[in-house]
Structure 1
Amino acid sequence: MNEPKAVPVVMTFAGNDPTGGAGIQADIEAIISMGCHAAPVVTALTVQDTTSVQGFAPIDAELIIQQARAVLEDMPVAAAKIGMVGSIEAVQAIHTILMDYPDIPVVLDPVISAGGGGELANEEVVDGLRSLLLPLTTVLTPNSLEARRLAPESDNLDACAMALLDHGAEFVLITGSHENTPEVHNTLYGNRRKLETFTWPRLEGSYHGSGCTLASAIAGLLAQGTEPLSAAHEAQEFTWQALNHGYRIGMGQRLPNRLFWASPDEEHD
């Protein structure tokens, strides 16, 4: 009997969102959709609904390290995704872990505020993301607001991207859903230049967990061996479809349907 092909493992560092729209659950669903196994390391517990964040409690940094090391010493992790970190101590803990595994590609979604509103990172955490995690990042996926927070000295988004590349990120994909444009323009940067701009139809309404979905999908594709440029494009296509198939089951933002491909009504190639 032939052994089944090994499923790539993606470790995700993120907060738990009780709505299931963002955070750890969003990551798991997107990673599974890329054909990978998700290894979730919880960094924070949040109190939130589809409208806003009411509060959160960071997980102790030592417990974050213990969670991650238990998995890393047991499974061959092929990629890592970082979302909400919760505290500067968590940033330092994740930095310590990743320094021991320099060959693992890292996707960083710099979660600074929740989609529906509410701050999830103070300036100390933002500084930590910039100084400790950007140098270890393969693909950084800020939205335009996060890019400006991470590179406040820059006067436009192109300059923000160059500054973030200077801080050590290998690729920067800035998403443009927060910009006042008829269509959504997402731009990928690398090698000190703009590589490609992707244009997507703008969907009505707003979504809870779109950034988590995109970053986790990229991580899953990198774990599968996909090159970053192709991974960025394929992950955007998946994310747009998840949003297009999304649903509103709370009183606030819509939730992406990351398992749209499993619907019996969905056409498959």
Structure 2
Amino acid sequence: MIMQPSVPIVMTLAGSDPTGGAGIQADIESILSMGGHAAPVITAVTVQDTRDVVALAPMDGELIIQQARTVLEDMPVAALKVGLLGSMEAVEALHALLNDYPELPLVLDPVLAAGGGAALADEEMVDGILQLLVPRTTVLTPNTLEARALARGSDTLDACAMALLDQGAEYVFITGTHERTSEVHNTLYGNHRRLEVFPVPRLEGEFHGSGCTLSAAIAALLAQGTAVPVAVHEAVSYTWHSLQAGRRLGMGQKLPNRLFWARDEADEDDTDDGPHEPH
């Protein structure tokens, strides 16, 4: 009899970011921070800095499947997180893989463009994500730009969410950092309705890897059996604090400090009015 590990295992399929701000590197830190163990599968290698993506080299689809299957046959993975895929071949490879593991919850962060604006998915890939992956998704985490791109023709964000739910996603969580609002409104949808809004104070500056941080944290909590609304609430709090503690380590966007919780208690600032940190 195989003993179940005491730490939940989350497989993340995403691109590698040499800045350490986003992608696989961000996922590993987030999953670790939420009490999980990350099993990283590289889908693409990027050339980027803290300003934008310069080049993208997608992995061969068969190599993606081999990476994932080898681990899935060895370790009791409890949840999947998907980020940058990089090619239609990768979308199709992931679809084939998901068909063999229908019981695993999936958090899909539909990375369509870099923070600096570089396109990371063409129209064929957008259609492929919508048709092949969204119907298999437990929690879809688009920002407002990605939601509008995936739900073309929808005139409001609520309509975008309804369209994506109709496409088969169990939950849709639209993040509002790209909107021009004084407060960031993040909205969870499910059961064909708006379920809850998670507002957080808007922080100054731009951040590299916030979407990866959020979606990986949600996946790590789902791997522990946490209900989706609770997982979203805790992941939003964790992400906000990671951004609040973010640092400008390059010449572009700030990088989240996903290990903010490891700092000395004497350095903690108890005066912020942001959301409470997850326990």
Normalising TM by the smaller chain, what interval?
A: over 0.9
Gaps of 5+ in 1: none
> Are 1:203 and 2:211 matched, yes or no?
no
Q: Which amino acid aligns with 1:202?
A: R
Alignment of 1:83-98 (within 5 A): 83-98=83-98
CA deviation map 1:219-264 (0-9, x unaligned): 0000011000100100000000000000001000000000000112
In structure 1, the residue matched to 2:18 is 18
C-alpha displacement of 1:115: 1.2
Task: Tell me, yes or no, if the aligned pair for 2:34 and 2:220 is still in contact at 8 Å.
Answer: yes
**Aligned partner of residue 147 in structure 1, secondary structure:** helix
C-alpha displacement of 1:5: 5.6
State the alpha-carbon separation in 2 of the partners of residues 117 and 261 from structure 1.
31
Q: Which amino acid aligns with 1:217?
A: A
In structure 2, the residue matched to 1:34 is 34
In structure 2, the residue matched to 1:219 is 219
C-alpha displacement of 1:150: 0.2
CA deviation map 1:113-142 (0-9, x unaligned): 011221111111111110000011000000
Q: Which amino acid aligns with 2:241?
A: Q
**Aligned partner of residue 231 in structure 2, secondary structure:** helix
C-alpha displacement of 1:4: 9.8
In structure 2, the residue matched to 1:131 is 131
State the alpha-carbon separation in 1 of the partners of residues 132 and 5 from structure 2.
35
Alignment of 1:188-199 (within 5 A): 188-199=188-199
Deviates more, 1:141-150 or 1:110-119: 110-119
TM-score, normalized by length of structure 2? Answer: 0.94
State the alpha-carbon separation in 1 of the partners of residues 212 and 122 from structure 2.
19
Task: Tell me, yes or no, if the aligned pair for 1:18 and 1:48 is still in contact at 8 Å.
Answer: yes
Task: Tell me, yes or no, if the aligned pair for 1:51 and 1:117 is still in contact at 8 Å.
Answer: no
TM-score, normalized by length of structure 1? Answer: 0.97
C-alpha displacement of 1:6: 1.7
CA deviation map 1:154-200 (0-9, x unaligned): 00100000000011100000000100111000000000000001110
Task: Tell me, yes or no, if the aligned pair for 2:4 and 2:76 is still in contact at 8 Å.
Answer: no
**Aligned partner of residue 189 in structure 1, secondary structure:** strand
Runs (4+) off by over 6 Å: none
Q: What is the RMSD computed on CA atoms of the aligned residues?
A: 1.4
% of aligned pairs identical?
Answer: 68
Q: Which amino acid aligns with 1:192?
A: H
**Aligned partner of residue 28 in structure 1, secondary structure:** helix
Question: How many residues were matched structurally?
Answer: 267
Task: Tell me, yes or no, if the aligned pair for 1:109 and 1:141 is still in contact at 8 Å.
Answer: yes
Task: Tell me, yes or no, if the aligned pair for 1:81 and 1:106 is still in contact at 8 Å.
Answer: yes
State the alpha-carbon separation in 1 of the partners of residues 97 and 219 from structure 2.
17
